[in-house]
Amino acid sequence: MEQEQFDALISRLERSAAERPGRYRLVAVSVALLGFLILAVAFGFAFIPAVALVALGVLFAFKAAAVLLLLLKLGKLVLVLAIPAWTMIRSSVSLLFSRFPPPQGRELTRDEAPRLFQQLDELRQRLKGPAIHKVLVVDEINAAIVQHPRFGVLGWEQNVLILGLPLLQSLGEGEALAVLAHEYGHLSGYHGRLGGFIYRFRAAWGRLQQLSVQWTDWGSRLIARLFRWYAPYFNAYTFVLARQNEYVADQTAVEIAGRQNTANALIRTSITAQFADATFWPAIERRIVIEPEPPADRSAFWEHSLRSSLDSQQRARFLDVARQRQTDHANTHPALKDRLAAIGAQIDDKAALRLEPPPLSAASAWLAPSIEKIAAEMDGSWRQRVAEQWHKRHAHLRERQQRLAEIDACQELSIEQLWERAALLGELHADAEVMPAIDTLLRRAPEHPPGRFHRGILLLERGEEAGIADLEFAMSKDKEAVPPGCEAAWRFYLSRDPEKAKAYGQRWQEGSELLARIRAERASMGQDAQLVAADVTPEMKSAVAQILLEHGQAVRRAYVVRRILKTDPSLVQYVLAFETDPTLVGNPGPEIVKQLAQQSFPGSFFVVHLGTYKHFRKKIEELGVEPVFAR
């Protein structure tokens, strides 16, 4: 099902749910029950041949002669049917006993966090829901309850509460209680068992879809195709119920933690997530330049940043972005303004000003007396995960820092050096230092595509629509810029102008698909490739010759021609066609192609051996192409 069809179906179902809620619920439940029928069909593929084999065995026990005579008459048919029957049995048994990967995280015990488990006990008692079997702490700004089936499709589910340490560090205790109540409300079905059933069933089908991608034998692929056909309809028909369940879970949070705590939790979580992306992680990135090892105090630095860097001005800016977001079909979670309106809370201009950091975070309150130990373990795991990449990045940035110093030491900079300087500043410093460098470049070269693209991105990040013109200019000059440019414009308009966001989203998808086709064509070459003479500059000829001298010892002669791409004839791809010495033992061509393909040529090059592409030699002669290299 295409995305437009999916959106249209959900829109129709939303109208149906509003006009005739009883009928919609009946249809949605029917579609959900169809999923059980599909599972039954999948298992039926195994049971039918299994029953047939059992019946044959019973007949053989009582009427061996008749069965042998039947097997002799139908021998070929039995053999033909036996293989697919066995495959279906194996596939269905595999589906039945497939194990889903358990949620990952650092498990908490009751002794480590007595206050948290006390809250969970009280919550379960009030909402009369199932037990929480395990609590995991993760390194994310997130909270969730996951039902993990111990025995695959057979179930016996384990309820796992997942809490992000960075989230708990940002919330007060009352706000964190609202988050707990929301998540547990999904599980308990406190305001309606149907909502809880749909929530769990959507999660189960999501796991099955992920699992089906790994199936390789043909029997499993048949079942996976059935799943893929059903999944979009199930997702669409239960989407409205799932979204309604989000509002219901918010109402549960209001009843447990109060309207103000629930509203504050929603607002603060949105602000915190944006702060992490826009401020905290860039600050960590800048520390790589001067610190050879990942910081050991990252959790403490996060909590300190929330109190020192997330000021009222930033909170107001992030809240403004969040309040402009529209509810769409990309996620069952409604937009912030709709969730707040549903619980009777309002966002005024001073809402962000009032959200000062809590005197005591939920992490400190709930995870005492083990908060320091837990934070140290989380930091240690993070350091271990990022250490290798951190070391490589540190070495790279030190080199870039040295290169920036070399450029700054020059008396007069060329256009290329001005752009390189702006790019280096972007890697090494905050955006505030990049814009002046970009402006200096564009005063000298107003139509510099990468410079215009970079300025467009920076302007959009500031909330200035003028950046769109820069992006459009850059995209008109370079097709590679279309997907990232349209993505940036889509994100900018997503909360400001949904129609423009939709248009840029469509261009983003089309541009990405075109680039994927171009890259696929560039990555391979058939014998029917169309070749024409290439405009080879002296600089290009010199660069190619140098590469061949260093990495093509067995190359006797080489030519450069241009290939006409079917996906976009305006794009340039060069073909480096080489000959090897015919007196050499064996065929060194494939190894030379492999080695040369790893080199950095001045442009897009595809390397071929004329021993393999023999008819290219005739085409090169017809074009009158002179060699760029000869021994």
DSSP helix/strand/coil, 356: coil
Would you say 14 and 244 are in contact if contact means Cβ atoms under 8 Å apart? no
140: three-class secondary structure by DSSP: coil
Domain 423-521 -> CATH class: mainly alpha
- Placement of tokens 């309002």 in the chain: 346
- With beta carbons less than 8 A apart as the criterion, state whether 163 and 137 touch: yes
* DSSP label at residue 585: S
3-state secondary structure at position 567: coil
- Report residue 500: phi and psi, to 5°: -65, -40
Structure token digits, residue 313? 């001005």
For 253-311, give the DSSP string: HHHHH-HHHHHHHHHHHHHHHHHIIIIIHHHHHHHHHH-SS--TTHHHHHHHHHHHTS-
* Mean pLDDT (10-residue bins), the chain, 631 residues: 66 74 74 71 60 58 56 51 53 52 87 94 89 93 80 64 95 96 78 52 59 52 65 73 84 94 94 92 89 94 93 86 76 85 84 86 93 94 94 93 93 92 86 85 95 94 92 92 92 85 88 86 86 91 91 88 90 91 78 89 91 88 91 81
Model pTM? 0.67
Position 226 scores a pLDDT of: 64
Cα 527 to the center of its chain, rounded Å: 37
Residue 149, strand partner residues: 157
Q: Give residue 23's pLDDT.
A: 76
- Structure confidence at residue 192 (pLDDT): 45
Domain locations in the chain as residue ranges? 3-97, 423-521, 530-630
Task: Report the run of H or E that residue 12 belongs to, with start and end.
Answer: helix 3-19
Q: Give residue for tokens 């179902």.
A: 13
User: Which of 339, 329, 347 is CA-nearest to residue 498?
Assistant: 329
For residue 74, the SS3 value is coil
Other Cβ atoms within 10 Å of 544 Cβ, number:
25
Helix (H) or strand (E) holding 613: none
SS3 of residue 455 by DSSP: helix
What is the rounded distance in angstroms from the CA atom of residue 583 to the CA atom of residue 123?
83
pLDDT given at position 304: 94
State the pairing for strand pair 605-609/143-149: unpaired
Alpha-carbon span 361 to 171, nearest angstrom: 6
In CATH terms, 530-630 corresponds, of 2.30.30, 3.30.460, 1.20.950, 2.40.30, to 3.30.460
Tokens, residue 99: 């194990």
pLDDT at 191: 44
**pLDDT, position 46:** 54
Q: Are 630 and 559 contacting, i.e. CB atoms less than 8 angstroms apart? A: no
- Alpha carbons 421 and 436: distance in angstroms, whole number: 11
- What three-state secondary structure class fits 579? strand
